[in-house]
Amino acid sequence: MRVPVTPSRLGELARLKAPSLASVVARRIEDQVVGAGWPVGSLLGSEGDLLARFGISRAALREAVRILEHSGVATMRRGPGGGLLVAEPSRDALVAAIGVWYSYEGITMAETMELRRPLLAAAVALAAERIGAPDAEDLVARARGLGAHGRIRLHEPNAVDSHIGVLSGNTALGLFIDALGDLGVTRLRGGWAELRPVLSTVELDRIATIYRRLAAAVAAHEPAVAVAAAGEVHEMLADRIFDLREQGRRPPVSAARGKLAEQIAGAIRDDIERAGWPLGRVIGSEAELIERYRVSRAVLREAVRILEHHGAARAKRGPSGGLVVSAPDLEAFRRASRLYLQYEGVTSQSLSEVREVVEVAMVRTAAQRVTESSAARLRAAIEAEGARAAGDDPATSFLDFHSELADAAGNRLARLYVEVLSDLVPVRVKASQRSAPAMTAMSGAAHRAHARIVDAVAAGDADAAERRMRRHLRASVDVLQ
């Protein structure tokens, strides 16, 4: 099957510079794939076909392909009969890409744990409401298996949390929990964080017992009991996980830990982080990196492709070439997350559920941490919002407010999640709400709600801020399809 990709206004495309042109072409191909129902394996065209279709240079097309491969939409198959094929987005690859951004931004374990608690509590509550008998039996069995071969390993409770994310029936919630859990375990394993003091055998046994109680409560449709159990584990860990920015150690390469090239890519990324992400610096020639990491040329080149895919580094050719440190593209991660959730068929209900979890947690934190400076920035954002044209689409123009709130809360992960979710809102607005009068009414209602939320945050009233945010988000559900 061939998916037709029809460009529009080629003259307009031709006037764009290569990086911008590549992004526009990639977005048009993404839209076509989504509109066609994401037919995995279908041919979008050979390189020659796409060059002719879009009337662009080979360099611009290859950059567009890189963007599509990063977002998990398509992959280029080389050789006779090859071309650009619709791909199945990889959840693991997306979580790994978020990990690169996490490393680059210097996200703390405190930020991770702060956001993880409300997300897991929501997943536990939803799973307890929605779980069926076969899944209930499976969850209880998984919890009973914790520590079955001795002490609990780092990844075991994380795997149960991930499964609960699936049982919640909320794709976005499951993805976010997976990402946070994977990031936390990776940081601990890699020596970028530590538990202080280390959990004793008694404490590990207690965690296993709590998880069994949690699983039993979910299976019995007792959300309050299950959420309380999840809170107990959080309290045991939250205040004893510390970042070790200067003491990261390279974990040993092991066949049991996944593909060798992925491990080498991770080791190189860790070394880049230890060096402070020195953008533009050549960290080694191909020969030097082969010697340093003791791998074959084929493995190293695959590792470099992974790093390039995630935006952590790029290969520079020539006599003074080598692997050059680059800055990960946050917009690329947002786009990849949005497309993955679209591929998985995230519903408006799921979108609304997880938005409420993230944004209520965020607004409470913003109120609890409010300063004169953060209050002033929020009031300035409200003034700027009020100055916008009344006819602006509130589904897009008013989402900046929610990012500002995440900044006021001081949690960069929350901001990323808010922006990923916000990217999905505009396409969900009902057609009946897109008329000029409807948009004017929505704009006015959203602006008034935002102003009331800021008043509560500026006053340090977390309870009032939470109530007003919940009311605002629940009112917006009515305009989504």
Asked, for residue 123, whether it belongs to a domain, the answer is yes
* Structure confidence at residue 432 (pLDDT): 67
d(CA 388, CA 399): 13
pLDDT digits (tens, 9 = 90+) for 218-275: 999 999 999 999 999 999 999 999 998 655 455 555 444 458 888 899 899 999 998 9
pLDDT at 24: 86
Q: Do residue 27 and residue 114 come from a single domain?
A: no
Give residue 397's pLDDT: 57
The candidate with the shortest Cα–Cα distance to 368, out of 317, 430, 411, is 411
**Is the same domain home to 194 and 120?**
yes
Report the pLDDT value the prediction gives residue 149, as an integer from 0 to 100: 74
What pLDDT does residue 7 have? 45
Q: Give the pairing of strands 241-243 and 193-195.
A: antiparallel
CA distance 162 to 3: 34
444 falls within a domain: yes
Q: What is the pLDDT of residue 69?
A: 84
CATH number at residue 77: 1.10.10.10
Structure confidence by residue, pLDDT tens digits, 419-439: 888 888 766 776 666 677 777
Give the C-alpha separation, 213 to 229, whole Å.
7
Query: Could you tell me the residue range of the domain that residue 57 belongs to?
Result: 10-88
Domain boundary residue, one of 201, 224, 243: 243
* Residue 279, pLDDT score: 94
Which ranges of 168-283 would DSSP assign to H, the alpha helix? 171-189, 201-219, 223-237, 260-274
Instruction: Tell how far CA 278 is from the center of its chain.
Output: 24
Asked if 83 contacts 47 with a C-beta cutoff of 8 angstroms, the reply is yes
Residue 249 has a pLDDT of 52
In a domain, 62, yes or no: yes
Instruction: Give the model's pLDDT for residue 264.
Output: 93
State the pLDDT at residue 62.
87
In a domain, 285, yes or no: no
Gap between the Cα atoms of 28 and 171, Å rounded = 25
What gap in Å lies between CA 23 and CA 70, rounded to an integer? 12
pLDDT score for 335: 82
Cis peptide before 89 (omega within 30 of 0): no
**Which pLDDT score, from 0 to 100, does residue 419 have?**
87
What is the reported pLDDT for 4? 52
Of the three residues 226, 243, 260, the one that is the final residue of a domain is 243
Of 209, 215, 240, nearest to 147 (Cα)? 209
| Length in residues, the chain | 481
Strand partners, 74: 86
Q: What is residue 138's predicted lDDT score, i.e. its pLDDT?
A: 96
Residue 161 lies in a domain: yes
Domain finish residue from 60, 88, 116: 88
Q: What pLDDT is stored for residue 451 in this prediction? A: 95
Residues in the chain predicted with pLDDT less than 70, given as ranges, are: 1-19, 245-258, 388-398, 426-427, 430-434, 480-481
Do 462 and 383 share a domain, yes or no? yes
Helix, coil or strand: residue 91 = helix
Whether residue 181 lies inside any domain: the answer is: yes
